[in-house]
Structure 1
Amino acid sequence: MRYKVTFVVGLALGYVLGTRAGRERYEELKKSARELAQNPAVRNAAEAAGQSGREFAGKAFAAVSDKVGDAVPAGLAARVRGLRGRYGGGSEDEWGTSNT
């Protein structure tokens, strides 16, 4: 019961503070977030992180499939192969940009 009351009080407090900030502040935050997302340095960092993640996932898949052999489901193996082809190194993505 104590947690429910704390949750309701927190919810009410958040609502009151949020409504006091108003629509203008919301629009300012939205504009700032959009500008940040469109920043070339942020986009390159996000793409580099995504590429690193895909490479790590591919290596992990290869290591696991070596250990378990044919126990890897065919659907999973096909999906990983498809991702490797789609996100191959250095090619342009579907937006016509590259990470160079």
Structure 2
Amino acid sequence: MGKMTFIVGAGIGYVLGARAGRGRYEAIKGAGTKVWENPKVQRNVNKVESRVSDIARERGSAVTDKVAGVVKSKLRSDQTPPATPPQPQP
């Protein structure tokens, strides 16, 4: 969510700045920076980061096990010989 929000925000800022000129772009950028640096915003960002870290630690091994199982299954299926196509009857 954080990367996507950043990309969308950067894209909007770029488009608006390009249309309105450099001065307006700087004003928009300054407003965005002011919001980002707001202590309330940063507290919420820290809460989200902390929660994501907790979830990653809690569920990390389960995800790793699942991925390993899928990879092993895929490797096993790739090692089976391909079926031979039917031979034409004379």
Q: TM-score, normalised by structure 1?
A: 0.44
Q: Give the number of the structure whose alpha-carbon radius of gyration is greater.
A: 2
